[in-house]
């Protein structure tokens, strides 16, 4: 890196300023770039020349105020990005080129009590198959976002609880996945990733203070503060599933008692229906509730109410504009949203409850976390493109 304040560092800063301006506003003429950045016309002209020879921008002729001008747009990032997202019962791999579009995807079931090496091995094999199948080489993938349905301690890189996802205890998932995939890996929990997906492309777009609730086999939250995913001091913020609802309640897999998860997690839902409905999966319960089965509907309405009680606490603390329900349970729409809203109104302070908009996510709950994992990988690719641009420049 050039010394701060030096001529080289000034040029570097100007290049980044022009790149960021074009990234934010789309194609602009050099006069417009000068207007936005405050740089002189001569500086913009030099910087654009440098960026063009580095292949970072595309120049195209246009007419502005009747005069000929050159429009500057960002060259597309090259290469693919990927995502490997572990659910409680499956692993899903996707590849994309940027944005929310998924180019190809594959899914494979995983046993509930699988060990980390088995999951990592299947995930790596699956994404390599997907890459080969779409006519690419593993080296075409620039970065991969990996999601786990557990709190992840970003300081140690380990799963931040002994009881949640026990097969993954003590494994440095990022390092092992990086080794298995041969590319840069970013790791986050799936509720944060789905929140990021909704923030980039869905119901939390443009929202400054928002809460995303992922209700599937387990329940988790992703917090959006200042428009960004808030991960807390060590990455485990948003663990709403392990907020205590009843201190004398059933013992939770995290070791605590009466966590929200023990009331609304798949285990609780399926147990409540076992005597009357026999052995069902969560997906069965959801589709029967949608078909009007009174028992399945009642259990999921109760889930909505319990989630609402816990969310009311978050509404009091953060005063969010929007609460988005995602995950498989969100397929029920108003059936769970209504009791959730009622609980928020009952338990949160009136002014915060009155202003919060509670709605379901926009992205398909099956892929929302994968879309977020792609967005995370895309950020890394963009940063790498920027860094490459700065290296070896005069
Ligand atoms: Zn718990």
Question: How close is the Cα of 253 to the center of ligand 1, in Å?
Answer: 6
Q: Taking the CB of residue 345, how many other CB atoms lie within 10 A of it?
A: 16
Question: How close is the Cα of 163 to the center of ligand 1, in Å?
Answer: 9
Asked whether residue 389 is domain-assigned, the answer is: no
Instruction: Scan for tokens 């300081």, then name that residue.
Output: 155
Question: In this structure, are 67 and 96 located in the same domain?
Answer: no
How many structural domains is the chain composed of? 3
CATH of the domain at 64: 1.10.10.10
Question: How close is the Cα of 259 to the center of ligand 1, in Å?
Answer: 5
193 contacts 151 by C-beta, under 8 angstroms:
no
Question: In this structure, are 171 and 209 located in the same domain?
Answer: no
Asked whether residue 388 is domain-assigned, the answer is: no
- pLDDT band at residue 40 using 50, 70 and 90 as cut-offs: very high
Query: Rounded to whole angstroms, what are the CA distances from 58 to 30, 103, 212, 306, 381?
Result: 12, 24, 38, 53, 19
* Domain range enclosing 227: 203-361
Residues with CB under 5 A from ligand 1 (ion): 242, 252, 254, 256, 259
Question: How close is the Cα of 263 to the center of ligand 1, in Å?
Answer: 10
Question: In this structure, are 274 and 218 located in the same domain?
Answer: yes
Could you write out the three-class secondary structure of 331-377? HHCHHHHHHHHHHHHHHCCHHHHHHCEEEECCCCCCCHHHHHHHHHH
Euclidean distance between CA atoms 113 and 5, whole angstroms: 55
Question: In this structure, are 115 and 227 located in the same domain?
Answer: no
Question: How close is the Cα of 320 to the center of ligand 1, in Å?
Answer: 24
Of the listed ranges 99-103, 241-245, 390-394, the least confidently predicted one is 390-394
CATH of the domain at 103: 3.30.420.40
| For residues 267-275, average pLDDT | 96
Question: How close is the Cα of 256 to the center of ligand 1, in Å?
Answer: 5
Residue 394 has what pLDDT? 40
Question: In this structure, are 241 and 302 located in the same domain?
Answer: yes
Question: In this structure, are 66 and 167 located in the same domain?
Answer: no
Q: Beginning with the edge strand found earlier in the chain, give each strand of the sheet holding 357-360 in spatial order.
A: 228-230, 219-225, 210-215, 322-326, 357-360
Query: Rounded to whole angstroms, what are the CA distances from 95 to 40, 340, 373, 375?
Result: 41, 35, 10, 11
pLDDT digits (tens, 9 = 90+) for 174-231: 999 999 999 999 999 999 999 999 999 999 999 999 999 999 999 999 999 999 999 9
Asked whether residue 65 is domain-assigned, the answer is: yes
Question: In this structure, are 252 and 275 located in the same domain?
Answer: yes
Question: How close is the Cα of 209 to the center of ligand 1, in Å?
Answer: 25
């Amino acid at each position: 890196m050039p010394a701060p304040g030096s001529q080289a560092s000034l040029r570097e800063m100007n290049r980044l300023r022009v790149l960021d301006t074009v990234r934010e506003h789309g194609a602009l003429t050099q006069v417009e770039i000068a207007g936005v950045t405050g740089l002189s016309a001569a500086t913009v002209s030099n910087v654009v020349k440098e960026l063009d020879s580095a292949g970072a921008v595309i120049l195209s002729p246009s007419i502005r105020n009747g005069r000929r001008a050159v429009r500057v747009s960002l060259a597309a990032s090259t290469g693919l990005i990927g995502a490997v997202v572990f659910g409680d019962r499956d692993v899903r791999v996707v590849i994309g080129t940027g944005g929310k579009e998924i180019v190809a995807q594959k899914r494979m079931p995983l046993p509930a009590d699988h060990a980390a090496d088995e999951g990592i091995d299947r995930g790596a094999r699956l994404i390599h198959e997907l890459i080969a199948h779409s006519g690419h080489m593993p080296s075409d993938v620039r970065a991969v976002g990996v999601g786990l349905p557990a709190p992840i301690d970003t300081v140690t890189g380990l799963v931040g609880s002994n009881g949640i996802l026990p097969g993954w205890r003590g494994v440095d998932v990022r390092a092992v996945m990086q080794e298995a995939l041969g590319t840069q890996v970013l790791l986050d929990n799936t509720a944060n990733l789905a929140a990021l997906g909704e923030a980039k492309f869905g119901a939390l777009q443009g929202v400054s203070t928002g809460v995303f609730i992922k209700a599937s086999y387990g329940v988790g939250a992703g917090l959006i503060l200042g428009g960004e995913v808030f991960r807390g001091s060590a990455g485990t913020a948003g663990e709403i599933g392990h907020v205590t609802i009843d201190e004398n309640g059933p013992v939770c897999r995290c070791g605590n008692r009466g966590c929200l998860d023990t009331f609304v997690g798949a285990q609780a839902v399926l147990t409540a229906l076992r005597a009357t409905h026999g052995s069902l999966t969560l997906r069965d319960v959801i589709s029967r509730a949608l078909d009007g089965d009174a028992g399945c509907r009642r259990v999921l309405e109760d889930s909505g109410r319990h989630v609402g009680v816990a969310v009311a606490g978050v509404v009091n603390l953060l005063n969010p504009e929007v609460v988005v329900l995602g995950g498989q349970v969100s397929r029920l729409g108003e059936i769970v949203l209504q009791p959730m809203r009622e609980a928020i109104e009952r338990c949160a302070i009136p002014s915060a409850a009155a202003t919060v908009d509670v709605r379901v996510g926009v992205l398909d709950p099956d892929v929302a976390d994968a879309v977020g994992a792609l967005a995370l990988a895309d950020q890394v690719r963009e940063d790498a493109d920027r860094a490459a641009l700065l290296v070896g420049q005069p």
